[in-house]
Every structure is written in C-alpha cells, then in structure tokens.
Structure 1
Amino acid sequence: MKKIEMNYGRVKVTASLKEENLMGIIEGNEFKLTKSEDEIILDALHNPIGSPRLKELVHSGETVCLVIPDVTRAWQKTDRFLSKIIEELNAGGVNDKDITIISALGSHRNQTAEEHEKLIGKDLVKRFDVIDHDCFDKENLVYLGETTYGTPVILNKKAVECDHVVLAGGIVYHFLAGCGGGRKTVLPGISSYETIMKNHSLSLSKNLGEGKNEDAKCGKLKGNPIHEDMMQAAAFLKPTFLFNVIAGHDGNIAAAVSGNYVEAFYEGCNIVEQMDGVEINDKADLVIATAGGYPKDINFYQTSKTIINAREAVKEGGTIIILSECSEGLGGNQDVQDILLNFDTLLDREKELRREYSISKDVGYIFCETACKFDVIMVSDLNPELLKKANIKVVKTLDEALEITYNKKGENLKTYVMTAAANTFPRIK
C-alpha cells in the first residue's frame, strides 16, 4: 500500500492506496527562486515586455491613474510593489499630486481606512488617498462603447480622464476568465454593475437547460468569451502600462511581469501555467483532493477552487473525494447558500442564475453541477444536511469516503491524489 499524507484543517490525514491503482500524485511544479521579492519586482519594472520603461512613457504635468486590487486580493501584495511603480512615475517627472489611486472593487463593498493602508502600505497612505471604485455611482461612470459581445463598456470616469492608466495586481488561474489579472482590473475592476453582469453572464450557454458555457473556464483564454470580452473592454481604456505579480506556493511573490498590458499579461499567464498547470496523460476513475489545509479549507465557499481543479482530473461519472474541514461552515454570502439550500434541481438553479447573475450564485451552481456529473464526497465537519439538496455526501473520515466509493464501484479504481488542489490545475497533454 502507498501511504500519502494530506493536509486537513490543522492536522494531517493519511491516504492508504493500492500502488497499482495510483496514477500519480498531482502537485505544483517546482519553480526555483534565485531572487528576493524586491529583486523580482525591480527586475520586472526595469525590463518591461513590449514597452519602454514606465518612466519613459510619462511626462511632467501629465496625470496618471494607478488601478490596484481591493483587499479581497491582498495576496497580490500591492504594498510591496506600489512604491516602486510610483518611483518610476516620479522619475518620469510625474508629481504626487497628479497621481490618482483607484481600488478596483468591481461590485465588492467599500473598504475601511485600515484596509486602504493594508493595500498601499503605511508610507504611501500618508502621501495618497485611495478611491474605492463604485460600480453604481452613475455620476462617476462614463460610456465608451460596446464590445462585439454586446457588453456596454461603462468605466470609472476618473480613470478615463487621466492621461495614463497603469494596471497593477496579480495573475492567477480564474474559474471563469481563464486567468485573473491584467484586463480584469478594468472589467470587472472599474466597470459599472451593468457592464460586470453582462460580461459575467457570458459564463452561461445561450439556451436555458444547457447550463454553463464550456469555453468559460479555468485555464482557457483562447475562445473564452468572458476573457475576450474583458480584453475588448480594456482596449477602450488603452492602459499605458501593466505590472502584475505571480504568487508562489508559499504565498510570496515568485515572479512579476510589466509592460504592454496585452503582451505582459499573456507572458504572466504562461508563468502561471509553468508553476501551477500540471500535465496528466489520462483522467482517473477517482480523485482524492485536499485544498491544502487551513485556511484554504476554512469554509465550503473557499473549497470552490479545489473542486473546480479536481474535476479536471477525473472522468465524467467518476468520483471526487474532497478533504475540506470547513471549520467556519458554508461561508460565502446569502447567494451561494440559497443556491445550495433552497433549490431541488439543477435547472431551477440555472433559472435563478439567469434571473439575476452573481459570482456567488455561479460558485454555488458549479458545486451542484459537479455533483450531477460526478459522485462527490466531502470529508468535512459540515452538517451533512447542508449539502443534501446539492447531492454532495458529507462524511467524517477519508476511510469512510473510500469505503462508500469502493462498495459502489469496486476497489480497482485508477486514482489521482491532489495534495494542493486549490493551487494546482491538471491539464491533459
């Protein structure tokens, strides 16, 4: 038997599997670091892709809008690199009074002064105010045109009126847009609510009953309508420069890209694939996956990345066993909980998603859709009744989950184990 340790909450769980059935352990790729975070940041800024350095693109007397993420994406460590970007702007002749910092909230809530300080750091918060984008504030939004997908491009007026826009943030796999970062700072980041909802609705197929658009998914850019729509929206704004980081498996900045907002973004996506995209030869009958322990499995909502990634490694009709303690319950907002708890069929959930789209509803729908296509068993502290309508079985131990699976499908199941599934995306060669 092969014994494999997996993180679960704050402890470790051992999976004991027949070696002849184990297809492999799917983990993130090795990515060697030879530089510190500061060195990575400066190296990227000094060697932009498809563009001169930022200080050569701006001039004295010009206005610059820095668009940064909000606190929900604090992993991007804006406070580590924003001062370096401002140093470039100052070196190009731009004064502090001509720099506007807008936090790309999309449709998220406003932030506190403490959260602004967390985003830009103790020193910069003394020099600059942070403006929270408001997707509902029509007085501070401006219409620029329409994409070929029919999305009205309505963006933050302050950003549009500046001579230069610099997009700052980070790139990571995204379950709808293929990858986050880059153009996503514009849409949804500084877009109107109408623009955001129209774009995100592209995640659904055209006809009721067909469910999700299969082209709008994690790791896919070419042919992904959400990504392509975002790129078109960003083109209306014509950002001058981009700076994006890529986080390593330890949470530290492992790489960074800067330069042309299109070319640098795609290069950043390539780095994400090198780090977190793991090639597999075939799909398995059974995948056993853990998010990686606390805090990645703090609640069910946070487990979405684990489920989305794990389903890429298993055959349709196969079994997915997810280890996620969920010490704080379901998590997420009322939308995701409603989708899980208050509907009896996938079609009814799809109708609700189409009636009034939200990301949270979509996450809830993906859980339920996955449970329709695969046998999903959660090893968790959750109350089993909470996921009963979603058709997801909840048990207390991995041994119990395996016993249920083997009794139903036999013990000779080709199996993958994913030890860091929240950050690892399997791809067929």
Structure 2
Amino acid sequence: MKFSWHYGKRRQDFEVPEPLYLGTVEGVAVDPLPDLNGALEEALKNPVASPPLRELVRPGERVALACPDFHRLWLRSGRWLPLVVRHLNRAGIANRDITVIVANGTHSPPRYAGLREILGNDFPRDVQVVNHDARDPSQLRYLGKTSYGTPLWVNRHALEADRLILTGGIVSHAFAGFSGGRKAVVPGVAGLKTILANHGRALSETPGGGIHERARPGVLEGNPVHEDMLAAARMLNPRFIINFVLSEEGDFLGVFAGELEEAHLKGCSFVSEAFRVDIPARADIVLASRGGYPMDLTFYQAFQASANAMAALRGDGDGVLIMVGECSEGLGPYEFQRWFGLGGEEEIERELRRDFTVAGFVVYRAALLHRSARRVILVSGLEPEVVSRIGVTPCSTIAEALEIAWKEIPEGKVLLMPHASQTIPAMPC
C-alpha cells in the first residue's frame, strides 16, 4: 500500500505491505462550519456563561486582544482576527483603542513578514500591534504569586487595558491537557520566569519519577500545569475568550466564546469528542506526524505529537515509535543545543530540577520515551549525531525508518497517524 505524507513543505512517499497495515488514525466526524463569519458572530452574541461581547466594552475603553503567534499559523488567525476587530468597531471601539498582543510565549517574536501572516492582509493598519517578548523586562509588570506560588509577570499592555480578550485554538496538549483558554496568558503574554515556573510543575514531585502523572493530554482535573495557568489567568481577569477548533485539513469546526473557564471547558469537551478516533488495536509500530509545515518547523513542534502517538502503541514497552517532522528550523531556540549535549534522562532531569527551561523539558520528555518503547525513531533533517544523544534513532526517510522498525519487530503491524497532534486514539468500547 502506497502513502504520501507532508514533510515540511515537501512530501515523502512510502509503502506498507497490506498484511502489516493496521489502519490510519485521522478524520473527524464533524462537518466544517459552512459560514465562519456567521458562526463567529453568533458566538460573540450568544457566548458561554457571559454577556455578549458588545455589552462588555464601552466606547473610549482600551481593549487588548491576545492572539496566537507565528508557530500557530494553522489556526488561520488572519482569517478571523479582522472579524473580531470589526465586531469591536460596531460596539463603538475605535481602532486607535485596540491593541493586539502577539502571544509569543517563549518563542522569538516574529518579524514583519511573520506578523503579516498572523494578522492577515485585511487587518487594519491603524491598530497597534505589540510583539510580546517574554525576555524583555521593559514589557513586563509583576502581579504577585498564583495560588501555586508561581510569580506572575505579564505584558504591561495586557494589564493596562480596560478590557482583555484572549484568543486561540483548542487541541490536546502534551502536558497542559488542552491548549487554548488560559494558555493565552501563560505562556502567551507571560514573562519567562513565570512560564518556566509553571511548566516546571509538569515534572513528577519525586526525583526520577519522570513527568507528573496528571500532566498529560486531555487531562485538566488535578493537572498542576493547567490549574496554575488558570489561576494566573484569573489574576489578570480577562473579560472574554474566543477559541477556535480546526480540522486536520484546516477547516473551522467550532467557535467557543465567553467566560474564561466555562467557554474553554465547552471547547475541550468538543475536541475530546471530535478528535477521538477508535483504533482496532494498539500497534507494534506507530508512525506519527503533525502534518508538515508549519507544524514541524522544529524538533520541539515535531515531538508535540508524541503523547497521542504513544497512546496508540502497544503497552508492554516493546513497540517502535516513529516520529516524522522535517525540523527545517532546527531543534528550536539556541538553548536546545545545551540540553541535547547533556546526554541521558538522568543528567537532563538533574539539570532541569536545578534550572528548569522549556527547552530542557522538551528534550527530557523525548528522552523518556524509551521507557515505553523498544525504539524511538525520528525522521527529520536534523544532524544524526544530535538526535542520537538522547537515545533517539535518526533517519532521513520514512521508508528507512520502517525498515529499521521491521528489523526490530518482524511482521510488526503498523498504525499511521498523519495528524497525530489532532487525533486522540481510543480503543472501541
């Protein structure tokens, strides 16, 4: 059986013998929205647990919109951000009183071309755009500590606005349960110290224990990362959120607007149902990708799909996981080099507990995969010796990776997950 997958902006072709093909995990049972404009207007007029947006703002008030960054172009913000601004205009908010904060989190702020992709060609040029930089002290203001003890530093424009609106998209998230909602604050518009303290809660409380048992995809209750994010967002007191759910193909499936927690929870429930896909059995070999550009620009992004992929792999620790991502922009931020240079999981964890960073956690999570799989393979354009340092086998093609997997498990059955970050595998009841 022949297949062709997106790989960066290119494609890779490969074959799986029919007797070894277990199936493909993709697709949702939800029809695309026939009219995004109409669906967005309806969500803003009849939101979840909140008055309509136009009743929350007054002419002359300063309104800040936190929006997704360049690494989330799959949310197609250029399609809906101008619509939100026009809705505010009709509510009496002038463009000069609107500030869009690009919620970059720990990512590097995009340059002009990247901003145009985020905002869209129709975005009004007289709206102020702030490129959030978590490392720039001049942009940040201190709000105190969350109930978890996390020091909360946020972008001053978010704090100084009369009304703050959070926007984003909802998919399952590797350690926060789901993206969207409160994540526009932490990590979105937060300072680096805040982000690192929050994300550090994804580690087990016991040294050597790996990742916290509740810090995983689809889990909100008892998840310390999520609960701390929510506590931080409440301190900033956003008046409204607007979250979108998109299909693997980029079609809009739902719009969830309203109160910070209730609207987000409704969107998370929708995602849990929409992206849950029954699988015939857990596989000997799982081949997983995030669907190519722009979801696989870096190692960090490519490995975001690993948690869902592991849920489809045989549970005895004897399966083979193959991750696919071109990683055309390398590992990620420069500091990834240091973490890859540390070697195995024990060294990485020890350094993480001393000096937690997002890059270190990403590398640590990848290094831990060997606990649940016989072999982990990455198909990418990264230097092989770099990938090998954390116990991951490097390959340049999917075909090569499959050959290695079948040497490990002759006649191993293969399950394909071409959009693994947006598909949640589940055994049928």
Same fold (TM over 0.5): yes
1:185 CA displacement: 0.7
State yes or no: 1:18 paired with 2:16: no
Match of 1:215 in 2: 214
Verify the 8 A CA contact 1:329 1:382 in the aligned structure 2. no
1:119 CA displacement: 2.7
Match of 1:261 in 2: 260
1:372 CA displacement: 3.8
1:225 CA displacement: 0.7
When Rg is computed on C-alpha atoms for both structures, the one with the higher figure is 1
Cα distance in 2 for partners of 1:380, 1:79 equals 29
Q: What are the equivalent positions in structure 2 for 1:64-79 lying under 5 Å apart? A: 64-79=63-78
1:328 CA displacement: 3.6
Give the 3 Å change call, closer, same or farther, for CA 403–154 of structure 1 in structure 2: closer
| Identical pairs, percent | 35
Give the 3 Å change call, closer, same or farther, for CA 6–220 of structure 1 in structure 2: farther
Match of 2:161 in 1: 162
Cα distance in 2 for partners of 1:343, 1:61 equals 54
State yes or no: 1:351 paired with 2:325: no
1:61 CA displacement: 3.1
**CA displacement 1:328-363 (0-9 Å, x = unmatched):** 4843233334333x2332100112223332222222
Give the 3 Å change call, closer, same or farther, for CA 14–282 of structure 1 in structure 2: closer
1:112 CA displacement: 2.8
Cα distance in 2 for partners of 1:396, 1:118 equals 30
Cα distance in 1 for partners of 2:298, 2:142 equals 39
**CA displacement 1:197-246 (0-9 Å, x = unmatched):** 11011111123222221211222211111111011111112211111111
Match of 2:61 in 1: 62
SS of alignment partner, residue 317 of structure 1: coil
Give the 3 Å change call, closer, same or farther, for CA 394–257 of structure 1 in structure 2: same
Letter in 2 for 1:102: I
State yes or no: 1:89 paired with 2:88: yes
Verify the 8 A CA contact 1:296 1:422 in the aligned structure 2. no
Cα distance in 1 for partners of 2:142, 2:88 equals 28
Verify the 8 A CA contact 1:299 1:328 in the aligned structure 2. yes
State the TM-score, normalized to the length of structure 1: 0.87
State yes or no: 1:334 paired with 2:328: no
Match of 1:7 in 2: 5
Give the 3 Å change call, closer, same or farther, for CA 40–213 of structure 1 in structure 2: same
Q: What are the equivalent positions in structure 2 for 1:265-344 lying under 5 Å apart? A: 265-280=264-279, 283-292=282-291, 296=295, 300-314=299-313, 315-322=315-322, 324=324, 326=326, 328=328, 330-340=330-340, 342-344=341-343
Cα distance in 2 for partners of 1:86, 1:339 equals 41
Letter in 2 for 1:37: L
Match of 1:196 in 2: 195
Moved more, 292-301 or 113-122: 292-301
Structure 1 unaligned residues grouped into runs of 5+: none
Letter in 2 for 1:7: W
Aligned residues: 423
Verify the 8 A CA contact 1:301 1:330 in the aligned structure 2. no
Letter in 2 for 1:201: G
Match of 2:365 in 1: 366
Give the 3 Å change call, closer, same or farther, for CA 16–305 of structure 1 in structure 2: farther
Moved more, 7-16 or 190-199: 7-16
1:400 CA displacement: 5.6
Moved more, 71-80 or 272-281: 272-281
Verify the 8 A CA contact 1:28 1:277 in the aligned structure 2. no
SS of alignment partner, residue 81 of structure 2: helix
Cα RMSD for the two superposed structures:
2.8
Give the 3 Å change call, closer, same or farther, for CA 69–344 of structure 1 in structure 2: closer
Match of 2:417 in 1: 418
Structure 2 unaligned residues grouped into runs of 5+: none
State the TM-score, normalized to the length of structure 2: 0.87
Give the 3 Å change call, closer, same or farther, for CA 228–289 of structure 1 in structure 2: same
Letter in 2 for 1:318: D
Give the 3 Å change call, closer, same or farther, for CA 381–237 of structure 1 in structure 2: closer
